Amino acid sequence: MAFPKIIVYKDVKPMHVFLDKNWTANLSDLSFSISLDEGKSQIEAEDVLGTYGYLDPLYFATRIVTEYTDVYSFGVLLMVVMTGRSVYFTGPDGYRVGILAYVKGLSENGKLSEVICPMMMQDMKSAKRLQVEACVLLALRCCEERVEDRPKMIQVAKELKRIEHHVLRS
């Protein structure tokens, strides 16, 4: 199914996600959203709107909104959910740390399991850990610097379904 217009939300963050009675995630507060005209891949916004820490750095720097703007923010949101940390937090050395740098550093050092929220880890079986780690790796792909290296949101949704079904079969 094709959509005639791409809608870019521009403020994807945990506070704007709610679950309905079937545990389906929904976005609230569409006040910052913008639609791209059919056949267009980007638009220049008058102002940069969104929440610092979740904002796509390219959108922040250029005011250019693309279909990848929300992909970046969604990646940050996934990291926040998987780690149980805020988008910015105080690290062990007392300095302010961004969630992306934190997760990226652990991943690059082969410590992906340390990314997962300790409370989530308590009763987690190994198959579930693999599922969470796959979500974290997907989140990192969503936050690639170059938009060309990020998946499209439809690919993100398909990958999340694949991760969910793969673990359920394991």
pLDDT in tens, the chain (170 residues): 455 678 888 889 989 988 899 988 888 888 888 888 888 888 898 889 899 999 999 999 999 999 999 999 999 999 999 888 999 999 888 999 999 999 999 999 999 888 887 777 777 777 788 888 899 999 999 999 999 999 999 999 999 999 988 755 54
Query: Two tokens at 101?
Result: 């740098």
Write out the residue range of the structural domain in which residue 57 sits. 6-169
Residue at 104 is within a domain:
yes
* Overall number of domains in the chain: 1
Residue at 1 is within a domain:
no
For the question of residue 11 being annotated catalytic, the response is yes
Query: Two tokens at 57?
Result: 């750095």
Mind spelling out the 3-state secondary structure of 32-93? Answer: CCEEECCCCCEEECCCCCCCCCCCCHHHHHHCEEECCHHHHHHHHHHHHHHHCCCCEEECCC
What gap in Å lies between CA 47 and CA 34, rounded to an integer?
12
Catalytic residue among 11, 20, 56, 149: 11
pTM of the entire predicted model: 0.89
CATH of the domain at 25: 1.10.510.10
Residue at 53 is within a domain:
yes
